[in-house]
Chain A
Amino acid sequence: MTLKSPTVGLFVTCLVDMMRPQVGFAAVKLLEDAGCDVCVPAGQTCCGQPAYNSGDNKGTAAVAETVLRAFEDVDYVVAPSGSCAGMIKEHYPRLFADDPVLGPKAAAIAGKTHELMSFLVDVLGVTAVEASYDGTVTYHDSCSGLRELKVKAQPRTLLNSVRGLTLKELPGAEVCCGFGGTFCVKYPEISNKMVGEKTIDIAATGADTLLAGDLGCLMNMAGKLQREGKPVQVRHVAEVLAGMGSEPGIGEAPAPNRATGAEGQD
């Protein structure tokens, strides 16, 4: 049972913050449209995955503490990323299992943390969005979201409500794109092979747009598609659902009447 006008703390994620802020705004719009009271706690930085997956448990715990503190006052923590949400939800409790003070806090935050698509559909019961998108879309299931958080049907449910949008399933949608955080720079040749297999599958669908729920995966696939000259637009699924699907896709030149940097402060 959800709370009336639940308070949601948006966990922005490093990549959204620096590389593609409009995903954050899309998330805010979707959450507010669904009746949430959304805030962006100032005390957040990173979920700690880079350190965690490098074996640096102490470094991870130090950063995770920041997260625990920043999101104490909200009903829910929502991230437009399966891997960041998964980090908080599945791994924070493990990280702090033996800590008498932070253990309970980690369990508490884990209990209220969700990936964006799953939060909208599974928790808030959203079944449709008000948006249109004129194009054929194919969808990549990012690994953490899929396997740790069971995000599979939810983005598709919402995409099906977008006027004008045709969804073409990606063969091998559940196969890893090869990003894997530091993996893509530590084992670049293997990562390249994996993303190369992925772009073959994407091109074979004939879709003009690729969507997914994790910016790391999206940047990886967009970068490869563009290096190969394949004309597929790449966006975060939240952008299309929030009606922002006409903005330039990932890696595309900014719109001609708007140079980067004109928005907001510099």
Chain B
Amino acid sequence: MSGSREQILGRIRSGLTQAAGPLREAPEALEKRTLDHPRGIRPSRVDKDEAGLVELFVQRAEKVNATVARIASLDDIPDAMAAYLANENLPAAFRMADNPDLNAVPWDKRPALEITKGASDGKDEVGLSRAVGGVAETGTLILASGKESPTSLNFLPETHVVMVKRSEIAGTYEDGWDAVRAQGALSRAVNFITGPSRTGDIEQTIYLGAHGPRRLHILLVEDA
């Protein structure tokens, strides 16, 4: 099988060097480009100030059937969560990612909420996660896997609630990647989530809740 590797790379190299063009570059230049990771075109829709980007984020997220609740501070999250669950006729229970910010929420303000923590076992109806950030250009949330952010929580529960801070809303995907890179080595899974799960596979009509969550609710916390 290492034979195949050499065979494939060998064929690639001979094909490319034969038709050598200006696009073929020295490895040093390619390595530099990879490490510099230059950006491409920045869509004009993100030419906005911070407030404008947050509005764009909310508008785009709602366009893809996510719901957004603007929360003044962490202190208001228990009420917001209880209200949301009641509104959606869901039981007052959820599985939460074992995340310091979520742990710092004063959940005992709403003792009726049944909270479990960790990865989802598939039986939870509602999951609550902490996003790394958001991308205004398409109302996208960025979540990164880890001890404090199990991936299964993003996909198994039918209702997914995600907390993100206003200050974490970036303009473009590239801005989002900057934030992810700042956290250190790339997590095993980085999810860019844009609205709930959907399919168009039955007669071309869009239906929500194919395999992933049917509902995506975003708690946008105004605290910087």
Q: Would A and B touch once assembled, by the CB under 8 A criterion?
A: no
Interface residues of A (CB under 8 A from B): none
